[in-house]
Amino acid sequence: MEKLISGIHQFRKQYWSDNRDLFQKLARQGQSPSELFITCCDSRVDPTVFTQRQPGDLFVYRNIGNFVPPYRDGRLDGTGVGAAIEYAVDHLRVRDIIVCGHSDCGAMNALYRDRKAFAESPHITEWLKYGDGTLAVVADNYPGKSKEERLAITSEENVLVQMENLRTYPVVQRAAREGRLFVHAWFFEIGEGNVYGYSPEKGQYELLHLGEE
Ligand SMILES: [Zn+2]
């Protein structure tokens, strides 16, 4: 806790002072982010850091495993995600939605564990059901992989499954039809700091920072 308080002092002294105009403009004019960024709660995955954006730039929604429950599947779990999607697309008028997974994701690992391990954690048990579609895709398409390979593949495939779920939202379908919304599947590799984007044309993830020194 002390680290947070000393961090606030440091923030006030340096970052806020250096960006006072930006903060005051944001306070006056409100937010106008251009992207909705959906990613995992993992403490190592901070989209504002790895995209080097500023406060006011990204509308961020995080949950364990970066799941996007399908539109109104009857469970209340997805309400928070759905509200963020509807608000971002129709009220903030974001131009892009990025769903971003990451390496070494605890949620992807948990999908392969016996659910009895979470007997005392009913919300985790319930939430992990949103990974069932991903498990099925991996089991069908990547038999005979090692545990490590399977985990990496699961994280990458999970983003694509969640992208499909995202497309079940009427607000997303309508905005995409109007040509004012684009959706993207990304993947962040923690150790290397690499960020990949999925290319639907090529059917694979590609480095987004190709060609840099
Ligand atoms: Zn994660």
Which residues lie at CB < 5 A from ion ligand 1? 40, 42, 105, 107
pTM of the model: 0.94
Determine the angle formed by the axes of helices 132-141 and 147-166, rounding to 10 degrees.
120
Nearest Cα neighbor of 130 from 63, 57, 191 is 63
How many angstroms does the Cα of residue 187 sit away from the middle of ligand 1? 11
Mean pLDDT of 146-167: 94
How many angstroms does the Cα of residue 27 sit away from the middle of ligand 1? 32
pLDDT at position 33: 97
pLDDT at position 117: 86
Mean pLDDT of 17-30: 96
pLDDT at position 72: 78
Nearest Cα neighbor of 95 from 57, 41, 61 is 57
How many angstroms does the Cα of residue 40 sit away from the middle of ligand 1? 5
How many angstroms does the Cα of residue 144 sit away from the middle of ligand 1? 24
How many angstroms does the Cα of residue 22 sit away from the middle of ligand 1? 31
* Span 39-85, pLDDT tens digits: 999 999 999 999 999 999 999 999 999 999 999 766 656 688 999 99
Please say whether the beta carbons of 51 and 42 come within 8 A. Answer: no
Mean pLDDT of 152-179: 96
What percentage of the chain has pLDDT greater than the value 90? 85
Nearest Cα neighbor of 200 from 159, 165, 142 is 159
* Span 185-204, pLDDT tens digits: 999 999 999 999 999 999 99
pLDDT at position 99: 98
Q: Can you tell me the distance from the alpha carbon of 152 to that of 203, in angstroms, rounded to the nearest whole number?
A: 16
pLDDT at 38 over 70: yes
Mean pLDDT of the chain: 93
Mean pLDDT of 133-151: 91
How many angstroms does the Cα of residue 25 sit away from the middle of ligand 1? 34
How many angstroms does the Cα of residue 38 sit away from the middle of ligand 1? 11
How many angstroms does the Cα of residue 51 sit away from the middle of ligand 1? 18
pLDDT at 213 over 60: no
What percentage of the chain has pLDDT greater than the value 70? 96
pLDDT at position 77: 60
